[in-house]
Amino acid sequence: MLKKFLLPLLVIIFSSTYALADSDKTVDDTLDTLMGKNVHGKYHDFFTKFKKSVLMSDKESISSMIAYPITVSVENKEIDIKNKKDFLKNYNKIFNKELVKTIASQKYSDLFVKDTGVMIGQYKDVWFSGICTVSDCSEFDIKIMQINN
């Protein structure tokens, strides 16, 4: 009787492990296809740094990850953030408990990726993308382009 249940259980366990491992690879492959060959590491590092910075309330670090000027949506109202000073002044309004919770629960393997950027959250909470620093885009910085809470 135990054998009857053991094999399906092992199949489920190994399938789940494979699916999770494959999910990171799927995100990596999608990023490389849409954003440029072998760029996934840079995006993965950005996501990891951003998530860690949000969890630590590292406002200075997050402020350096923003593409200024940026218009953020805070409780269905738009706020124009011109620079780092404006961002720091409005940080607590922007990064409310719900947004922090969304970012904290976001897994790399569950990021939504399209040709215009990468989305954190189910409701377009945070978008980030590459910004070319040279004319042929062979060099770029990743920045947060949109924040909605």
Q: What is the mean pLDDT of each run of 10 residues along the chain (149 residues)?
A: 42 35 82 91 97 98 98 92 97 95 96 93 91 89 95
**CA-CA distance, 103 to 28, in Å (whole number)?**
19
Instruction: Give the angle 143-145-146 at the CA atoms, nearest 5°.
Output: 140
* Predicted local distance difference test score (pLDDT) of residue 3: 44
pTM above 0.75, yes or no: yes
Query: What whole-number distance in Å separates Cα of residue 58 and Cα of residue 46?
Result: 14
How many CB atoms are located within 10 Å of the residue 125 CB? 18
The per-residue pLDDT for 140 is 93
Q: Which two tokens mark 24?
A: 């990171």
Query: Who contacts 20 (Cβ-Cβ below 8 Å, separation ≥6)?
Result: 109
pLDDT at 46: 98
